[in-house]
Chains A and B, each alone.
Chain A
């Protein structure tokens, strides 16, 4: 590669070579990610006709009842949506096998072996207890349904023109829905089967070792050394999932990302990472492959879910907070690392760990920077999950707690799980609004990652090298996996919309419950766990401390989150109650 010293000359130092497609890690992430997605397509798409037929039958059964009035949501409306939600393409035998093949350790309370084994006797005892609870709530559900049906019939007899009768029907139906929710959750717990996870975990580990090992061999590394090292990395990832599935940790919201980094760092800073494991410590390789899978779940149609109000809270507030916080970090706090600055901005303003991963990979942040950003996010997430519902209960008017409170939490608490827990604390509608706002923010990850990649490639790296670069150099430096990530998002967004245009609910049945939950998602979590373990195994506490000097990352996060909390609340109130109150009334 040639170089010139004149900084005004546009430099195209990098050279495109077609062999990059099989020699570079970024491209292997794209090929491996798309291989998994293609398998999902081949397994599930042939069943589209079957799913379409089921949905059409459901519409025939419930649609008339669902649409008999627009004054309130009828029992038929709820039954239509419940039936649609039950149509899932991953319920085919192949889908069930894939789920079994990729299952993480199960939940446990005090005996970690419960995560791997459950005997028939234990399963029977658990099922008996769950069935007893279900039978109890089922009686209540049936009673409330009967009352709701009577109230609705009375309102219908008045042509749905009597406001008092309509309100009475609404209240009865709301009572039935609460009972139905308890009943359906209780019913789900009656499905208990014995399991022995060990064999499946070993099989999965071998599968992953070969899957990633092929790419490593193509990139000129030793397949044998990789596979040997992978056994160690995989074992630590399994232990991370084991820790995260413990009941107390689930309640506190301490997920696998924390345990993977923590476990890796604990090993590397005490007994030391074994040298033979190092060939498999491949943070970026695993993360980029996981990100391509993540791309398939970024479906653009989802952003219309809650209308314009949702778009303003999720897509207008978020980039504003990102940019203001980044500016604050550069100008006021004077963060030494732009990449750490960008990663913290993303995890705080967008959606926590997943946004941090995408941004860190897009701007080529260091492992320690990602670790720090994720650590800050996890700490504040746990605090906000508890504090925000308390503030909402104590200070918000009762009629605004569910929707405004839900939107506020959804737009500010970083992790979706914590958002769901905090929303559920307030009520079902708060859960729905909060989780939906967070989902719309999740869709923004692709846009943010692309913008960050472009910004760092065309501005930051140019400033760092002191030379202007031409289009070929920009292409050479641009993180290619982002193209796979965006490509997966665009392709599956188009397919999702196309399915939905055939019959309502087909997109969710085939993409959400098929390619995403029935394929991509089964492995994405594992890949991120492997990458976080790799980060931990390669991180020194002292190196991590250096990035925290002066507490600047903490100051940046605290400023950004405070600004986020204020702006989200203001915009949510304006959108949901001043500009679009009729939208809010539909919820």
Chain B
């Protein structure tokens, strides 16, 4: 672990850089970023959709997105209603899982030494 016993630059310079970067980030958030939005194709529309549907575009995991839960419910219920023989632990489904595990097993064994 790098403990940074000494600052990488003089203290005054260090603070100046730190505060300058913070100011730039704030400026980007409040002025530059919003100005850029209409200049990048599609980003303005994405911004609209994100705002309207309250999506956290920076989320990293499915539990942080309401759409994942809604999607799961919609898709599984649709399948159960209209194609129930395709839902659940069908043979092709189990073959897919088996294939995944086989790929992992043989793939890991064959990785270059």
Q: Is B23 an interface residue (CB 8 A)?
A: no
The verdict on A77 contacting B100 (CB below 8 Å), with A415-B59, A438-B68 known, is no
Cα A272 to Cα B52 with chains together (Å): 41
Please, which residues of chain A bring their CB within 8 A of the CB of B60? 255, 257, 351-354, 415-417
Shortest B51–chain A CB gap in Å is: 8
> Interface 1/0s, chain B 77-90, versus A by CB < 8 A?
11101110011111
Shortest A168–chain B CB gap in Å is: 18
The verdict on A438 contacting B62 (CB below 8 Å), with A70-B82, A270-B9, A307-B87 known, is yes
Q: Is A323 an interface residue (CB 8 A)?
A: yes
Q: Is A558 an interface residue (CB 8 A)?
A: no
Interface size of A in residues (CB-CB distance below 8 Å): 117
The verdict on A435 contacting B62 (CB below 8 Å), with A110-B30, A386-B41, A416-B68 known, is yes
**In residues 409-440 of chain A, which contact B (Cβ within 8 Å)?**
415-418, 420-425, 431-436, 438-439
Which residue in B72, B83, B97 is a CB contact (below 8 Å) of A439? B72
Q: Is A583 an interface residue (CB 8 A)?
A: yes
Cα A474 to Cα B89 with chains together (Å): 34
Interface size of B in residues (CB-CB distance below 8 Å): 82
B82 with A586: CB separation less than 8 A:
yes
Which residue in B11, B64, B79, B100 is a CB contact (below 8 Å) of A316? B100
Which residue in A316, A438, A521 is a CB contact (below 8 Å) of B99? A316
**In residues 1-35 of chain B, which contact A (Cβ within 8 Å)?**
1-9, 11, 13-15, 17-18, 21, 25, 28-30, 33-34
Q: Is A169 an interface residue (CB 8 A)?
A: no
A305 with B76: CB separation less than 8 A:
yes
Q: Is A97 an interface residue (CB 8 A)?
A: no
Please, which residues of chain B bring their CB within 8 A of the CB of A463? 113
> Interface 1/0s, chain B 49-81, versus A by CB < 8 A?
111111111111111110111111111111101
Q: Is A517 an interface residue (CB 8 A)?
A: yes
A433 with B59: CB separation less than 8 A:
no
Please, which residues of chain A bring their CB within 8 A of the CB of B87? 304, 307
Cα A463 to Cα B21 with chains together (Å): 44
Cα A307 to Cα B94 with chains together (Å): 10
The verdict on A436 contacting B58 (CB below 8 Å), with A81-B77, A249-B29 known, is no
> Interface 1/0s, chain A 56-88, versus B by CB < 8 A?
000000000011001001000100010011000
B57 with A250: CB separation less than 8 A:
yes
Cα A305 to Cα B9 with chains together (Å): 54
Shortest A401–chain B CB gap in Å is: 14
Shortest B26–chain A CB gap in Å is: 8
Shortest B96–chain A CB gap in Å is: 4
Cα A96 to Cα B105 with chains together (Å): 44
Please, which residues of chain B bring their CB within 8 A of the CB of A144? none
Closest to A78 in B: B74
Cα A367 to Cα B89 with chains together (Å): 40
Which residue in B1, B49, B58 is a CB contact (below 8 Å) of A538? B1
The verdict on A416 contacting B64 (CB below 8 Å), with A185-B52, A251-B47, A425-B49 known, is yes
A319 with B103: CB separation less than 8 A:
yes
Cα A320 to Cα B69 with chains together (Å): 27
Stretch at the interface among A146-154, A198-206, A261-269: A261-269
Q: Is A116 an interface residue (CB 8 A)?
A: no
Closest to B95 in A: A308
B59 with A416: CB separation less than 8 A:
yes
Shortest A376–chain B CB gap in Å is: 14
Please, which residues of chain B bring their CB within 8 A of the CB of A256? 58
Give the secondary structure class of A's interface: helix
The verdict on A517 contacting B25 (CB below 8 Å), with A308-B86, A438-B68 known, is no
Cα A316 to Cα B101 with chains together (Å): 9
Please, which residues of chain B bring their CB within 8 A of the CB of A322? 107
A330 with B111: CB separation less than 8 A:
yes
The verdict on A508 contacting B58 (CB below 8 Å), with A272-B6, A330-B111, A582-B86 known, is no
The verdict on A538 contacting B3 (CB below 8 Å), with A81-B77, A417-B56 known, is yes
Cα A538 to Cα B1 with chains together (Å): 6
Shortest B79–chain A CB gap in Å is: 5
Shortest B33–chain A CB gap in Å is: 4
Stretch at the interface among A31-39, A240-248, A545-553: A240-248
B54 with A188: CB separation less than 8 A:
yes
B74 with A311: CB separation less than 8 A:
no
> Interface 1/0s, chain A 573-586, versus B by CB < 8 A?
00000001011011
Please, which residues of chain A bring their CB within 8 A of the CB of B65? 416-417, 420, 435
Cα A249 to Cα B27 with chains together (Å): 12
Please, which residues of chain B bring their CB within 8 A of the CB of A304? 76, 87-89, 93
Shortest A226–chain B CB gap in Å is: 15
The verdict on A386 contacting B76 (CB below 8 Å), with A85-B70, A421-B55, A517-B63 known, is no
A424 with B103: CB separation less than 8 A:
no
Cα A305 to Cα B89 with chains together (Å): 11
Please, which residues of chain A bring their CB within 8 A of the CB of B97? 303, 311, 315
Cα A258 to Cα B25 with chains together (Å): 13
Q: Is A233 an interface residue (CB 8 A)?
A: no
The verdict on A308 contacting B90 (CB below 8 Å), with A297-B61, A417-B55 known, is yes
Cα A331 to Cα B112 with chains together (Å): 7
Q: Is A211 an interface residue (CB 8 A)?
A: no
A to B CB contacts below 8 Å, 14 in the list:
A248-B28, A250-B58, A251-B33, A252-B43, A271-B11, A297-B63, A330-B111, A352-B60, A420-B68, A421-B50, A424-B55, A436-B72, A517-B63, A537-B4
Residues of A that sit less than 8 Å from B by CB: 66-67, 70, 73, 77, 81, 84-85, 109-110, 181-182, 185, 188-189, 243-244, 246-258, 266-273, 275, 278, 281, 294, 297, 302-308, 311-312, 315-316, 318-320, 322-323, 326-327, 330-331, 351-354, 367, 385-386, 389-390, 415-418, 420-425, 431-436, 438-439, 442, 444, 447-448, 451, 454-455, 459, 463, 508, 512, 516-517, 521, 525, 537-541, 543, 580, 582-583, 585-587
Q: A-B pairs with the 6 shortest C-beta distances? A: A255-B58, A417-B59, A432-B71, A272-B7, A248-B33, A311-B96
